Amino acid sequence: MKCRTARQKIRLLVGNDLAQNEIEPVREHIAECDPCQQHVEDMVDSSDVLTSYSGEVLSQRKTSVWESVVDQLPPQLEPAVPRGRQIRQSILVVAAVVAISVAGVLPDLIPDSVLMGSAGVQITKPESVELPAGEYVRHYSDQSWQSLESLDGMPRGNRRGPVRNVVGF
């Protein structure tokens, strides 16, 4: 065994991390090699230091961290959704996002009928907005919601954002 290999194994041996069948050849090498014998002593010394440090009492708590953790837990873990349903749901979400983005980014490039076609995506009503049921677009200047009825006659280029059906919020 070469000294380099022996030393690598000695470093494992000091912590009992050497497989049983690897120990004997290392012992044989150490018995005949003074520098490796010295390496054993150095490694045992520094291992003792780590052992005494490992026994040091670290921070002790009187209460469980659970008391703080429980306050921050979501009310209930999301129930596991069967794989097939998960994929179908993802497809629906992606479709909805694409519909909203297309309508929002390209209002001027697509005809009114298509723009209207993206409507009907279920959206969450913004907290601050009070709107009766109907069809809406965002006004390009101040981003306020305008009902389609009130925009009759406004040039299409002035409209921005997705058309949204606000139904029974």
Partner 1 sequence: MTTSTRSAVAESVTTREADTDERNCQGFNDARLVEMTREGSHEAFAELVRRYESRLIRVISRFILDPVMVEDLSQEVFLRAYRKLELFDASRRFGPWLFQIGVNMTLDHLRKTQRRIKWTLFSQKRSEDQRTIDPETADPRLSLDLSQEVRSVLDQIPEKYRTVLVLRDLENFSTSEIAAITDRKEATIRWRLAEARAKFQKLWTARQQRDSIAGRAEVDNV
- Chain-centroid distance of CA 167 in Å reads 34
Q: Which two tokens stand for residue 53?
A: 């440090």
**Least gap, CB of 79 to partner 1 (angstroms):** 8
Q: Which two tokens stand for residue 52?
A: 């005494």
**Least gap, CB of 29 to Zn ion (angstroms):** 6
- CB-neighbour burial class of residue 103 (10 A; exposed 0-12, middle 13-18, buried 19+): buried
Residues 22-41 interacting with Zn ion (rule: CB under 5 A): 33, 36
Contact, 3 vs 11, CB < 8 A? no
Q: Does 37 bind partner 1 (CB under 8 A)?
A: no
Residues 55-114 interacting with partner 1 (rule: CB under 8 A): 56, 58-59, 61, 64-66, 68-70, 72-74, 76-80
Q: Which stretch in 37-45, 90-98, 118-126, 138-146 sits in contact with partner 1 by CB under 8 A?
A: 37-45
- Taking CA atoms, 131 is separated from 83, 119, 136, 168, in Å, by 38, 16, 9, 9
Contact, 169 vs 116, CB < 8 A? no
By CB under 5 A, name the binding residues for Zn ion.
Answer: 3, 6, 33, 36
By CB under 8 A, name the binding residues for partner 1.
Answer: 7-9, 11-12, 14-15, 17, 42-43, 45-47, 49-54, 56, 58-59, 61, 64-66, 68-70, 72-74, 76-80
